[in-house]
Amino acid sequence: MNSTFNKLLTFKTMITALMIIVFSTQFLLIERVDALSDSKQLVLDAWTLVNEGFYDPEKFDEIQWKRIRQKTLQKQIETTEEAYSAIEDMLKPLEDPYTRILRPKDYELLKSSNFGSEINGVGLQLGEDDDKKVKVVSTIGGSPAEESGIVSGDFILKVNGISSEELGLANTASKLRGESGTKVLVEISSESGEIREVDLERRSVDLRPVRTKRLRDDSHTIGYLRITQFSESVPRRVEEALQELKEKEVEGLILDLRNNSGGLVSSGIAVADTLLSEMPIVETKNRNGIKDAIISQKETSFDGPMVTLVNKGTASASEILAGSLQDNGRSILMGEQTYGKGLIQSLKSLGEDSGIAITVASYLTPKGNDIQGQGMTPEKLLDLPDASEFGSSDDKWVRNAELFLESLLEEASIQTNEIVGEEITS
């Protein structure tokens, strides 16, 4: 009996030991599989950042997001460039052109445009339309693109013979950038379908994000303030510009946001804060729902009458600013329907000096209007040709805004005189 029991005990011990060996081996194998290469770790890091921040998590279930990660990591990814390509393929099912991998050159360029004062390239701000065609949002003033006659609404068909459909938005933008003095051949289609080729020479483009001057006539002095993009320094520069205009005793202000395709949302909100007094600026809708509205402080840098010029190149952060001014009755909008980019991106760093832009929220104007894909309609539409230089003496848009402001100032002057007259005769 004892002998049988001992044999059985020995057998169980052997089985247990064997199971321990087997499971230990399997565990070691699992550990070996899970020890990802640097290139695959880059892919996993990108997936994790998107998984944690993307504004529409319901999309993950629709496209089987976790399965996409699994299938992507099963691919042969041995180099950093293969990792970038794998991340691009992984992000495509999200169908969001603004959530994208930024290779080192593109990442550095985007950071410099947000924080610096000049960039190297042709001066195009690009987006996508509903059919995924690469579309010109705006051109930067004084850039090769503007000088060649490329305008907001044009489509980029090819860059150096490669179709933009094949390249996608991010790679099309990347192909247009390069060292000063180098050239790039771009095939353009107008909104009417006219196709032409443009040979552009890349160069350093001075962004000059804030420009200002004083407009005077026989009876009134009006300030003109143009913001070309929202970089980090813009709120401070705007405050300085408004202070300078106040010292020149301007009575009204023309805010020019034409062809301002956005930039740092925080900068756009900060500028709104300088023009609004205890009013809602914007509401953001992230993956957890609608947050409380951002409210401006009481103090303002300018509280006189305003007109804000917008066009189809006015997008993103500039639409936040324009929408806050319009909805609060602080300024009328004059010009064209705006572009309609109501999504906010967060910029995250990845290894090898690269980055990833992730759409983390959409925004609503103070009255709850969703701008994404819709844009904003000005109270006063203008059907006028663009000036060769915005803000110049031949700019009919500015002249229209100036005349409208003068009428407001005249009306206010008459009302003031009537009130004074009533007080005198009472």
**183 is a catalytic site residue:** no
Cα–Cα distance for residue pair 384/380, rounded to 1 Å: 12
Residue 401 gets which letter from DSSP?
Answer: H
Contact of 226 with 391, CB cutoff 8 Å: yes
Active-site option among 164, 327, 331, 362: 327
Active-site option among 40, 135, 158, 341: 341
Cα–Cα distance for residue pair 338/373, rounded to 1 Å: 10
In this structure, are strands 203-206 and 100-102 parallel, antiparallel, or unpaired? unpaired
Within 8 A by CB and 6+ apart from 213, the residues are: 223, 224, 391
Within 8 A by CB and 6+ apart from 425, the residues are: none
β strands within 94-154, DSSP E = 100-102, 118-121, 124-128, 134-139
**370 is a catalytic site residue:** no
Closest CA to 360 of 62, 38, 56, 115: 56
Cα–Cα distance for residue pair 146/228, rounded to 1 Å: 13
Contact of 138 with 318, CB cutoff 8 Å: no
Contacts within 8 Å (CB) and 24+ apart, 324-329: 324/272, 324/276, 324/279, 324/280, 324/281, 324/282, 324/365, 324/366, 325/255, 325/272, 325/275, 325/276, 326/365, 326/376, 326/379, 327/280, 327/365, 327/366, 327/367, 327/369, 328/276, 328/279, 328/280, 328/366
Q: Which structure tokens are listed for 95? A: 């169908």
**316 is a catalytic site residue:** yes
Active-site option among 316, 318, 324, 331: 316
β-partners of residue 101 are 356
Q: Which residues are catalytic?
A: 316, 327, 341
